[in-house]
Structure 1
Amino acid sequence: MKKSQKIDKELTAISLFSGAGGLDVGFELAGFNSVFANEFDHDAAEAWRLNRPSKSHIMVEGDIKDHITDLDKFNDIDVLFGGPPCQGFSVAGKMDPNDERSQMVWLFMEAVGKTHPKVFVMENVAALGLLDKWENVRKGIVKKGEDLGYEVSFRVHHTSEYGVPEKRDRVIFIGVRKDVGAVDQFYKKLTAYKAKPQTAREVILSAGRFGEKDNPQTCTANVSLAKNPVMRRSPYAGMLVNGAGRPIDLDDIAPTLPASMGGNKTPIVDEIALHNANIPNWFKQYHTDLINGKAEPTKIKIPATIRRLTVKECAAIQTFPAGYKFSGRKTKQYKQIGNAVPCRFAEAVAKSVYDAYWG
């Protein structure tokens, strides 16, 4: 990636709905220094602190509603960024407009009004940016920003276009204070950060050999064949196994990693195919045999080399820096990773913000 130019003035930021710090990684790499951060979940807040020991006091843990007045003391902030909870908007959830988590976008906009940053960046699931169901929410966010003195725009981005080895689409709302510049400046800079992602095989192998000290097994959920498999054209779709975790096509980018990983929703790896690109994935042959009526799920035993992704491998897919730490039980660590903004995409966004308005 192109590096941002060094400037004399330290750029300041506020991080809301911080999670374990995926967006923060991007803005830190772009040269922004957070002066306030907030996260509701204890383990996620602790992960944020673990990776920023010198700034641990900046993380204010708790409901943002209880800390919104803390923002009154901040002014002349350069950037406010965050990813309000997305479950209320996600197609993977109930898509309930009355879901309390759906209301967090308005608290984010209230924070914009309090701190009046030069630029704000709000991330969420692609559904918020695409579905007719959420049109009024989108219009409301844009209007609120405009009323506060910003030019506001939103687009859905394929994070894989920015080097993220994962099928993850996200909407980014960006607001630029009208005395600072125009939104188009951001989009023009963003194209410079497009990059080809690694394959799932390449990124999983980069995490180290499975089962060893540097990449221990962290998900022990059994992989068992579905008695009545749901078939699709691809062996990596449908429901060939019990649970929502599906086999990974190692020659493609990884599927979207859900926050519900840690059990049988954790994606599945063929360890033999992982280390031998000329050997087909076990599920590929199984899928073919099912189509041809040559396989009976109740009579087939899955090889012992079929296993689930580790925490470290998931973190690598989400492009967290090597050695990044997570907190709490293993299921909580998977959740922190699945909820995060991929760090490489966050870096592309943050550096484009810098290049557009400070570069």
Structure 2
Amino acid sequence: MSRVSDRLSLIDLFAGCGGMTVGFTREGFRPVMSVEWDRAAAATYAANFGESHTHWGDINLIPDGDIPDAEVIIGGPPCQGFSNLGSKDVNDPRNQLWKQYLRFVVKARPQVFVIENVQRFSKTSEFQLLLAEADHGMLKDYKLSYGVLLAADYGVAQRRPRTIVIGSRIGEIPLPEPTHAKAPTDDRRPWETVRSRIAWVDPRPATTELPESMTEYFGQRIRGEFKGTDIHFGRQPTKMSLERYDHIPPGGGRFDLPDHLLSRCWREKKTGTTDVMGRMRWDAPSLTIRTEFFKPEKGQYLHPQWEQDRPDRRVNRVITHYEASLLQDFPKDYLWCGSKTEIAKQIGNAVPSGLAAAIAGHLKGYLN
């Protein structure tokens, strides 16, 4: 094995369906271990990167002796406890899993590690404990750089902010500089758009169901493997839902609905939740793709195609799982395992692979 390949060995913790690994392998990194407790997500990861190095199960139960050497460790400990949508409880058990991440760092002794999490992670008490470990604890050999990166600034067609921490024991490594901007400059290209990712996808899905297909991972049967277009399926909205969709222009939302189409809660709540029942814009990045992107009442998830004077040219539906995966920067031919809901959760929880690739390419210069 070449020295370059050795330097680019990779462990992915809390790997989900592999969004970060997609970006890092794109830049030449070689995964030697991944860990994920969700069976469907782990199966999707294994379908795309191989089962032999994929560990499905509780990270707490992996012995120190099973942790391989690696030059880089990446991962995002579950963020539900930190999220604005979560409990914000520092004692939430989900908020303690980052300590398992540190155990892997101590054992594998990577040159570099990367932690990604929700935007407000840097404001938590747990984050302060992480800084303390770097100052005088188990991470004292590592220099930390951290900040909030916007995925759109790195070529992703999505305005998704994430806290990124880079730890290095080969000298401090700054966060990567943006390559894109809303207002382009000489050294920054314009933001990628929804159009650049999904304009070519058939606007009229031919089905509302996943194909009947089963596969086996980790000795158990699971639905899949589904190819990219297999997850391009529609839904069956009610007549009232279709009426609502038809009133909403690109960039609009619930405030564009006439009174007779407003639900009681919307009628009584005059401010806030501006992206609810929202429609994407073709020529802008999407807002954050969450795990329930298939529910328009959860955010700006209506298909961007809508013309004021051409009702026949309106696409009145939410984006499909396939379109959501493309906005998350997954490859067109990515394979998926699980039910509709499980796959949606995998897509929404993933790190956009374009952001991961930008970080990977930045780190590669220091490792090589």
Bin the TM-score by the shorter chain: 0.7 to 0.9
Normalised to the residue count of structure 1, the TM-score between the two structures is 0.78
SS in 1 for 2:107: helix
Q: Determine the C-alpha separation between the residues in 2 that align with 1:59 and 1:339.
A: 18
Relative distance call for 1:272 and 1:174 in structure 2 (3 A) is closer
Deviation at 1:45, TM superposition (A): 0.4
Q: Tell me whether 1:113 sits opposite 2:129 in the alignment.
A: no
The 5-angstrom pairing of residues 243-282 of structure 1 reads 245-263=277-295, 265=298, 267-270=300-303, 272-273=305-306, 279=308
The 5-angstrom pairing of residues 307-318 of structure 1 reads 307-318=317-328
Once the two structures are superposed, residues 87-115 of structure 1 have per-residue CA deviations (whole angstroms, 9 ceiling, x without a partner) of 00001212121211111111111211111
Relative distance call for 1:232 and 1:249 in structure 2 (3 A) is farther
Relative distance call for 1:272 and 1:110 in structure 2 (3 A) is closer
Normalised to the residue count of structure 2, the TM-score between the two structures is 0.76
How many residues get paired?
Answer: 309
- 1:40 aligns to what? 37
User: Once superposed, which parts of structure 1, at least 4 consecutive aligned residues long, lie more than 6 Å away?
Assistant: none
Relative distance call for 1:164 and 1:272 in structure 2 (3 A) is closer
- 1:158 aligns to what? 150
- 1:295 aligns to what? none
Deviation at 1:208, TM superposition (A): 3.5
- What do you get for the CA RMSD once the two structures are aligned? 2.7
SS in 2 for 1:51: helix
Q: Tell me whether 1:145 sits opposite 2:140 in the alignment.
A: no
| Alignment equivalent of 1:92, drawn from 76, 85, 99 | 85
SS in 2 for 1:259: coil
**Residues 37 and 59 of structure 1 are in contact (CA less than 8 Å); yes or no, is this contact kept in structure 2?**
yes
Once the two structures are superposed, residues 182-219 of structure 1 have per-residue CA deviations (whole angstroms, 9 ceiling, x without a partner) of 223xx3x5445764332223422133433147473244
SS in 1 for 2:101: helix
Q: Tell me whether 1:216 sits opposite 2:232 in the alignment.
A: yes
Q: Tell me whether 1:66 sits opposite 2:56 in the alignment.
A: no
- 2:358 aligns to what? 348
Gaps of 5+ in 1: 1-5, 283-302
Once the two structures are superposed, residues 157-185 of structure 1 have per-residue CA deviations (whole angstroms, 9 ceiling, x without a partner) of 111101111121000111001xx22223x
Gaps of 5+ in 2: 181-187, 208-228, 245-260
**Residues 24 and 356 of structure 2 are in contact (CA less than 8 Å); yes or no, is this contact kept in structure 1?**
yes
Relative distance call for 1:56 and 1:152 in structure 2 (3 A) is same
SS in 1 for 2:278: coil
Deviation at 1:260, TM superposition (A): 2.8
Deviation at 1:306, TM superposition (A): 1.3
SS in 2 for 1:120: strand
Q: Determine the C-alpha separation between the residues in 2 that align with 1:69 and 1:219.
A: 46
- 2:191 aligns to what? 197
| Alignment equivalent of 1:169, drawn from 132, 156, 161 | 161
| Alignment equivalent of 2:94, drawn from 93, 101, 109 | 101
Percent identity, aligned pairs only? 28
**Residues 266 and 308 of structure 1 are in contact (CA less than 8 Å); yes or no, is this contact kept in structure 2?**
no
| Alignment equivalent of 1:183, drawn from 163, 170, 173 | 173
